[in-house]
């Protein structure tokens, strides 16, 4: 008799602080026989590092490797990752798939989910997104009352970033990586850089603006896709 397929848990592990992992995420992470996570082509996974203290001996680990290059990863990478997860699920193993921040907020999980949904039981466990963690670290409200928040990918061209920042009550600029100098240049041109504090590196939390706040989810200018 064929094994009952395992369940896939898309687990948001938050912005970087292991203590921001939810209780449900921790319970499912420690119960899963297989733990998968995105990782750079060479080197360690940031998502894994967040939960490393909670991993147990004997858990099988799957690193889904992404090349560190501009643009979206090829469909073949997601196809291969989904196939590796499907192999474990077909064996009856539950899989905890880690995602930095929240799985459905610019997460690589989205592309794997689209390939596996409908074939397997999938449960998504939300995580603390970087922009709310950043607001907490800065002790500044993201938005209040009737204000609107714009979430702006730094991968857009300079003119589009400038337009969206200029139209927003408050903005969170995400997916910075190697785009940080470009974003800083845009803010200088808009006359907004004078409100900008230097980022706290290594925390996953951003710089801030004192008025019309702009929050950055990854102040490290080195490229990182995991």
Q: How far is residue 150's CA from residue 168's CA, in Å, rounded to a whole number?
A: 6
Both 75 and 140 in a single domain? Answer: no
pTM of the model: 0.84
142 versus 111: the higher-pLDDT residue is: 111
Both 154 and 208 in a single domain? Answer: yes
Report how many domains make up the chain.
2
Sign of CA pseudo-dihedral 107, 173, 128, 54? positive
Both 72 and 115 in a single domain? Answer: yes
222 part of a folded domain? no
Q: How far is residue 152's CA from residue 129's CA, in Å, rounded to a whole number?
A: 14
Looking at residue 139, what is its pLDDT? 78
Q: Give pLDDT tens digits for 147-203.
A: 999 999 999 999 999 999 888 888 888 887 788 889 889 988 888 765 554 344 444
Confidence of residue 124 (pLDDT cuts 50, 70, 90): very high
Both 18 and 63 in a single domain? Answer: yes
221 part of a folded domain? no
12 part of a folded domain? yes
Q: 77, 99, 125: which is the final residue of a domain?
A: 125
- What's the rounded mean pLDDT across residues 29-33? 98
DSSP string of the chain? -PPPP-EEEEEE-BSS-GGGS-HHHHHHHHH-SEEEEEEESSS--HHHHHHGGG--TT-EEEEEEE---SSPPPHHHHHHHHHHHHHHHHTT--EEEEESB-TTSS-THHHHHHHHBTTBEEEEE----HHHHHHHHHT--S--TT--EEEEETTS-HHHHHHHHHH-SEEEEE--GGGHHHHHHHHHHHT-GGGBPPP-TTSS----BSSS-EEES----S----
- What's the rounded mean pLDDT across residues 119-130? 96
Identify whether the C-beta of residue 38 lies closer than 8 Å to the C-beta of residue 68: no
User: What is the residue range of 140's domain?
Assistant: 130-216
Identify whether the C-beta of residue 148 lies closer than 8 Å to the C-beta of residue 127: no
Q: Give pLDDT tens digits for 48-77.
A: 999 999 999 999 999 999 886 666 778 999
Looking at residue 80, what is its pLDDT? 96
Both 142 and 109 in a single domain? Answer: no
Q: Give pLDDT tens digits for 71-120.
A: 677 899 999 999 999 999 999 999 999 999 999 999 899 999 999 999 99
Both 119 and 193 in a single domain? Answer: no
Looking at residue 119, what is its pLDDT? 96
Question: Residue 145 class from Cβ within 10 Å (0-12 exposed, 13-18 middle, 19+ buried)?
Answer: exposed
Both 136 and 163 in a single domain? Answer: yes
Confidence of residue 205 (pLDDT cuts 50, 70, 90): very low
225 part of a folded domain? no
Tokens of 36: 């998968």
Does position 140 have pLDDT exceeding 70, yes or no? yes
Both 105 and 142 in a single domain? Answer: no
For residue 206, give the CATH number of its domain. Answer: 3.30.950
Q: 109, 125, 141: which is the final residue of a domain?
A: 125
42 part of a folded domain? yes
Both 83 and 187 in a single domain? Answer: no
Q: 125, 140, 155: which is the final residue of a domain?
A: 125
State the angle between helix axes of 180-190 and 158-167 in degrees (0 to 180), rounded to the nearest 10: 50
33 part of a folded domain? yes
Both 154 and 183 in a single domain? Answer: yes
Both 117 and 134 in a single domain? Answer: no
For residue 48, give the CATH number of its domain. Answer: 3.40.1010.10
Q: How many residues does the chain have?
A: 226
115 part of a folded domain? yes
């Amino acid at each position: 008799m064929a094994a009952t397929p395992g369940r896939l848990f898309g687990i948001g592990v938050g912005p970087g602080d292991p203590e921001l992992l939810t209780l449900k995420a921790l319970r499912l992470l420690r119960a899963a026989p297989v733990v998968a996570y995105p990782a750079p082509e060479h080197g360690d996974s940031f998502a894994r590092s967040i939960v490393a203290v909670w991993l147990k001996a004997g858990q099988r680990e799957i690193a889904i490797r992404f090349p560190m290059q501009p643009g979206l990863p090829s469909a073949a990478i997601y196809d291969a990752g989904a196939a590796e997860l499907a192999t474990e699920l077909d064996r009856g193993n539950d899989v905890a798939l880690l995602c930095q921040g929240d799985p459905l907020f610019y997460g690589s999980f989205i592309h794997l989910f689209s390939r596996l949904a409908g074939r397997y039981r999938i449960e998504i466990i939300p995580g603390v997104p970087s922009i709310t963690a950043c607001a907490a670290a800065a002790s500044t409200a993201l938005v209040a009352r009737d204000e609107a928040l714009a979430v702006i990918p730094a991968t857009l061209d300079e003119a589009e970033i400038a337009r969206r920042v200029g139209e927003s009550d408050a903005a969170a600029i995400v997916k910075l990586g190697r785009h940080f100098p470009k974003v800083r240049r845009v803010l200088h041109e808009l006359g907004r850089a004078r409100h900008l504090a230097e980022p706290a590196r290594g925390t996953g939390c951003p710089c801030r603006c004192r008025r019309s706040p702009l929050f950055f989810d990854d102040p490290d200018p080195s490229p990182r896709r995991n």
